[in-house]
Chains A and B, each alone.
Chain A
Amino acid sequence: MYDIIVIGAGVTGCAIARALSRYQVRVCVLERASDVCEGSSKANSGIVHAGFDAKPGSLKAKLNVAGARKMPALSRELDFAFVNNEALVLCFEESQLDDLKALYERGIENGVEGLELLDADAVQRIEPALNHVAGALLAKTSGIVCPFELTLAMAENAYENGAEFRFGEAVQQISPISGGYAVTTGNGTYEARIVVNAAGLYADRIHNMVCPDPITITPRRGEYFLLDKDCGNLVQRTIFQLPTKMGKGILVSPTAHGNLLIGPSAENIEDKENTATTSAGLASVRERAALSASDIPYNKVITSFTGLRAVGDTGDFIIGEAAEGFFDAAGIESPGLTSAPAIGEYLCELIGKRIDLTKKPDFKATRKGVTHFAQLSREAQNALIRENPAYGSIVCRCEQITAGEILDAIHRPLGATTLDGVKRRTRAGMGRCQAGFCTPRVMELLAEAQGIPLTDVRKR
Chain B
Amino acid sequence: MREFDLAVIGGGPAGMAAALAAKESGLERIVIFERDSVMGGILNQCIHNGFGLHTFQEELTGPEYAERYFRKVQEAGIPYETGTMVLDITPDRQITVISRERGVETVQAASVILAMGCRERPRGTLGIAGFRPQGIYTAGTAQRLLNIDGVLPGKEAVILGSGDIGLIMARRMTLEGAHVSAVFELMPYCNGLNRNVVQCLEDYNIPLHLSHTVVEIHGKDKLEGVTVAAVENGKPVPGSEEYFPCDILLLSCGLIPENELSRGCGIGINPLTNGPVVDDRLETNIEGVFACGNVLHIHDLVDYVSAEAAQAGRSAAAFVQGQRGDGGETHQIIPGDGVRYTVPCSFHRNSREDTHLRFRVRSIYRDATILISCGDQVIAKRKAPVLLPSEMQDITLKYPLLEQADADIIVRIEGVTA
Contacts and interface: CB of A to CB of B under 8 A. Distances in A.
Interface residues of A, number: 43
Contacts of B210: none
Given A275-B220, A381-B103, A440 B144 contact: yes
Contacts of B35: 394, 397
B134 A458 contact: yes
B392 interface: no
Contacts of A74: none
A260 interface: no
Interface string B319-333: 000000000000000
Given A392-B101, A400-B87, A440 B120 contact: no
Interface string B97-138: 011111110000000000000011011110101111110011
Interface string A256-270: 000000000000000
B83 interface: yes
Interface band, chain B: 35 or more
B127 A460 contact: no
Nearest to B148: A440
Given A400-B87, A436-B141, A277 B129 contact: yes
A450 interface: no
Contacts of A190: none
B98 A302 contact: no
B221 interface: yes
A436 B151 contact: no
Interface string A283-304: 0000000000000000101111
Contacts of A273: 220
Query: By DSSP majority rule, is chain A's interface helix, strand, loop, or mixed?
Result: mixed
A303 B129 contact: no
A168 interface: no
B149 interface: yes
Contacts of B101: 389, 392
Nearest to A300: B125
Given A385-B103, A392-B98, A276 B148 contact: no
A364 interface: no
B220 A455 contact: no
Nearest to B123: A434
Nearest to A298: B127
B141 A389 contact: no
A199 to B, nearest CB: 18
Contacts of A282: 127, 129
A460 B130 contact: no
Contact of B141 (A382, A392, A440): A440
Interface of B: 35, 83, 85, 87, 98-104, 119-120, 122-125, 127, 129-134, 137-138, 140-141, 144-145, 148-151, 215-217, 220-221, 260
20 contacts: A276-B217, A277-B130, A278-B129, A279-B127, A279-B215, A282-B127, A301-B124, A381-B104, A385-B98, A385-B104, A389-B100, A390-B100, A397-B35, A397-B85, A433-B119, A439-B145, A440-B141, A443-B149, A454-B149, A459-B134
Given A276-B217, A303-B122, 16 more contacts: A276-B216, A279-B129, A282-B127, A301-B124, A303-B123, A304-B124, A304-B127, A390-B100, A392-B101, A392-B103, A392-B104, A433-B120, A434-B122, A436-B120, A436-B122, A443-B145
